[in-house]
Structure 1
Amino acid sequence: MSLGFSVDELLPKARGGGVLKMGLAKLDESEWLQADPDLAARAAGFDAFPEGVQRLPEGDAGGRELAAMLGVEGALPEAAAAHHEDMCLLTRRDGEDHYRLVGAAVAWPSDWTPADKLGLPLRALHAPIQGYEEQLASGVDHFMAKLKPGAIYGRCNWFIAATGERRWIADPPELAFAHVTAENAGQTLFVRSERQTLRRLPRTGAILFTIGIYVDPLGELASASIHRLADATRSLLDGEGERRGTGAYAHALIGYAKAREEEAGQ
Structure 2
Amino acid sequence: MTPAHAAPAPAGSLPPWALPYAPVAPFASPRLAVAPGIQPLDPAEWFLIAEDYAGQMAERDRLVADHPGWAFARTPQGEAAEAELLELMIPHLVARHGFREDGPRALVRPDGVRVGLDDLPPIATAGRLVQDDLLLMARPEGAEEHVLVSGILCFPAHWTLGEKIGRPLLRIHLPVPEYPGDLARRVQRFFDGVQPGRPLWRANWHFAGGPEIVTPMAEVEKTRMYRERLALTEEAWLRVERQTVARLPRTRAVLFGVRTIVTPADGLSAAQWRELDALIAALPAEQGARKLGPALRARAAREAARAD
TM-score above 0.5, yes or no? yes
TM score, norm. by length of structure 1: 0.82
**Aligned residue for 1:7?**
22
Matched, 1:64 2:83: yes
**Aligned residue for 1:156?**
203
Matched position secondary structure for 1:96? coil
Say which of 249, 256, 274 aligns to 1:227.
Answer: 274
Give me the whole-angstrom Cα distance separating, in 1, the residues matched to 2:264 and 2:255. Answer: 30
Structure 1 gap ranges (5+)? 1-5
Say which of 27, 31, 35 aligns to 2:45.
Answer: 31
Give me the whole-angstrom Cα distance separating, in 1, the residues matched to 2:229 and 2:293. Answer: 13
Query: Is the Cα contact below 8 Å between 2:273 and 2:304 reproduced in 1?
Result: no
Query: Is the Cα contact below 8 Å between 2:32 and 2:38 reproduced in 1?
Result: no
**Aligned residue for 2:142?**
95
Query: Could you list the per-position Cα deviations for residues 167-192 of structure 1 after superposition, in whole angstroms to 9, with x for gaps in the alignment?
Result: 224764445664x44xxx1x3x1111
Partner amino acid, structure 1, of 2:300: A
Query: Is the Cα contact below 8 Å between 1:91 and 1:206 reproduced in 2?
Result: yes
Matched, 1:255 2:298: yes
**Aligned residue for 2:101?**
none
Shift of 1:68: 1.1
Return closer, same or farther for 1:79/1:39 CA change in 2, 3 Å cut-off: farther
Aligned Cα RMSD in Å? 2.6
**Aligned residue for 1:53?**
72
Query: How many pairs align?
Result: 247
Partner amino acid, structure 2, of 1:54: A
Query: Could you list the per-position Cα deviations for residues 40-79 of structure 1 after superposition, in whole angstroms to 9, with x for gaps in the alignment?
Result: 5224235245412111111111001111111262411111
- Superposed, 1:135-150 pairs within 5 Å as 135-150=182-197
TM score, norm. by length of structure 2: 0.71
Query: Could you list the per-position Cα deviations for residues 131-161 of structure 1 after superposition, in whole angstroms to 9, with x for gaps in the alignment?
Result: 2222222222223223221111011121111
Partner amino acid, structure 1, of 2:269: A
Say which of 130, 133, 147 aligns to 2:180.
Answer: 133
Give me the whole-angstrom Cα distance separating, in 1, the residues matched to 2:306 and 2:180. Answer: 43
Identity of aligned residues (%): 28
Give me the whole-angstrom Cα distance separating, in 2, the residues matched to 1:101 and 1:193. Answer: 22
Structure 2 gap ranges (5+)? 1-20, 91-106, 108-116, 218-223
Matched, 1:78 2:125: yes
Return closer, same or farther for 1:44/1:8 CA change in 2, 3 Å cut-off: closer
